Amino acid sequence: MSELLVVTTENIPGKKYEVIGEVFGLTTQSKNIFRNIGAGLKNIVGGEIRDYTQMLEESRQVAIQRLRENAAKMDADAVVMMRFDSGSIGNDMQSVAAYGTAVKFVS
């Protein structure tokens, strides 16, 4: 089985489709004490906080995979107009949402 296509564009070249509906993939990750210590030190000297960057990258990958799984449950062939949204929950959690429009290809 091939992986469900996810694009950030409205159109897929050479494909016609009908809209099934909105689809989401969500994840919430917590920052651990070691990441917080490293972040605190970086606040003093400046620079990229690589552990947080890695956490957000992993969160995006999880959110996209969940988006694909949810679209497959809707019997979709693809997701168009995929976007990300993220935000903090309290002081130590980060939420990432991947969302878009599930579509079914037509001839």
Delimit the domains of the chain by residue range.
5-106
Radius of gyration in angstroms for the set of CA atoms belonging to the chain, rounded to a whole number: 17
Model confidence pLDDT, tens digit, residues 32-83: 655 555 555 556 666 777 878 888 899 999 999 999 999 999 999 999 999 9
94-103 mean pLDDT: 96
The residue written with tokens 């009908």 in the block is: 18
Tell me which residue of 98, 77, 97 sits closest to 89, measured CA to CA. 97
What CATH architecture applies to the domain 5-106?
Answer: 2-Layer Sandwich (3.30)
Tokens for 55, please give them. 């956490």
- H-run or E-run covering 4: none
Contact 12, 78 (CB under 8 A): yes
Average pLDDT taken over every residue of the chain: 87
81-105 mean pLDDT: 92
| C-alpha of 34 from chain center | 24
pTM comes to 0.82
